[in-house]
Structure 1
Amino acid sequence: MLGSFLILTIYSCEEVLFEQDISGETVTLIAPANNTEIEANSVRFNWESLEGATNYEIQIATPNFANANQLVLNTVTDSTFYQVELIENEYEWRVRAQNSGYVTAYSSAKFSVIPITNFSNNTVILLSPANGLITNEDSFNLKWEEVLEATQYRIQILDENGEPIQSETTNDTNLDITFPEGSLQWQVRAEKDNEFTLYSSRNILVDRTPPNIPTLTAPTDEQILTNPLVSFNWTRTLIEGSVEFDSIYVYRNLTLTDLVLKDEVTAPYETTLVTNETYYWYMKAFDEAGNESDDSTVFSFTINE
């Protein structure tokens, strides 16, 4: 059943945006299930995705929402999971789905965080750098939260195949690391005598290599054009790493001070320019990590009617 829809915004007489009515739907909670006892310092909340929802509001109260002493968490996420560190106590958590026009009712469950009797049930809470970071820097201070009774922490760097390429231990809750280039994972576990927690991990892409310089192919240098609709083309060999993109720069003068056009583009790129003018253009490549190529050669062309 498609359900009913709401017209939210009219952009023109022909263009409208619809949002699905999800107000009668229910979010299915996965974990923690109702009345679960959790022996851990960190709790991961999971629920099923709901068609038509753009994000989810998750709340946690202690001891419950009917008699709340504290609203421990109130946040919105577009994921179907959330992890948070909690102290020993009784809690109730609830989730509702929403989009820009509708919300569902809350789905809720009660749970308790109980004392940790097994050290290995602890979870190392990673702080920085952020998960999924794409960067052209290679030196970082890894940080995580303290785990009670831990005598040391073990830190590993894994390559793109999940193989350890570096391992360190420290008594502190931070460590300076220099990463090699590549798609990597860093992970930390807490240790106490012969006991240890599971590793907590994050991904990082280190890309310190600038993209190749674009090679201009059209219009050719000093070409005379008769059509104001100009088709620009160029080539560039991609380098493995972060996503790369090209920017075009078009000027009215050889000193490159009178800018006509600057844009992120893909080849071929077409635009209309004023006739009876001479233009100077070049390309430059960038990547998501923040690297940039040198400027390409500058070409000129003239548009004559």
Structure 2
Amino acid sequence: MTGLRESLGSLATEAVDPAFEALDAVDTLEAARMMNQADAGVAAAVERVLPQVARAVDEVTSRMRRGGRLVYAGAGTAGRLGVLDASECPPTFDTDPACVVGLIAGGERALTTAVEGAEDSRVEGFRVVDELAVDELDTVVGISASGRTPYAIGAVERAAVRGCFTVGLACNAGSDLGRAAELAIEVVVGPEVIAGSTRLKAGTAQKLVLNMISTLTMVRLGKTYQNLMVDLRATNEKLAARSWRIVREATGAADADVDRALAEADGEVKTAIAVLLGGVGAGEARRRLDAHGGVLRDALTDLGTQGEHHAHH
């Protein structure tokens, strides 16, 4: 136990910052200011690791193009953030739920309840990765603020043995997790307002990096056109309204034409845009999209239009 005490003591994420020791003595607004000031440095810490983030995106993209998956593995807050990021990909980018997967120590119950001791098992990390039968087309991202969570390290180690590309996302430099992975993304955000409470700055930093990895991978895969969500799935009224606005924004077409194109395209935003900008039927629009791996920009170029009908042009 003493060994663990000493090694935790050396971690930036566990350090006690005297700047925050009056947190319980000041008024609420001042306390909120302290937290806000602490948070202000998070984006700058992420900025320092952008080259590593970009490499992760490129590695994930090249594998996903060949049918690979993106798998996140973590315990506690880190695990929840991975599950959150994974669960938001299908509605935003119309991905198959099996395509981006979030694994959390202790399983689904751990999303809402602290499952004691779950994070301490490297073997559990091995097991979940084996269960998914990952291979060289998959990427496994271990997430751990301290960078020493056995579950995340176990998942990464096992994934590496199985030929995956592995990433270690941590908030301490020179972390065990970073060393275990092929690519380390270590966002050093420093001591938390509440010492050791890594759901704060460390959690925010991890959320920012995960946002980038999943979003930019989807952009590279052609899930967007310009900065529009053209692969979204209209599963409710809000999304149906958003689909309509995106088609109009991308094409500048008259309302009735947007209605007609979306109806013809069975609600597929990308197909409807290709129908309007390419002047083709839905069947031909789909054929061109398929020929270009779903990348709308390339399909439009093929159809002899560069989206010059955009409302803003």
Structure with more strand by fraction: 1
Taking structure 1 as the reference length, the TM-score comes to 0.20
Which has the larger Rg? Answer: 1
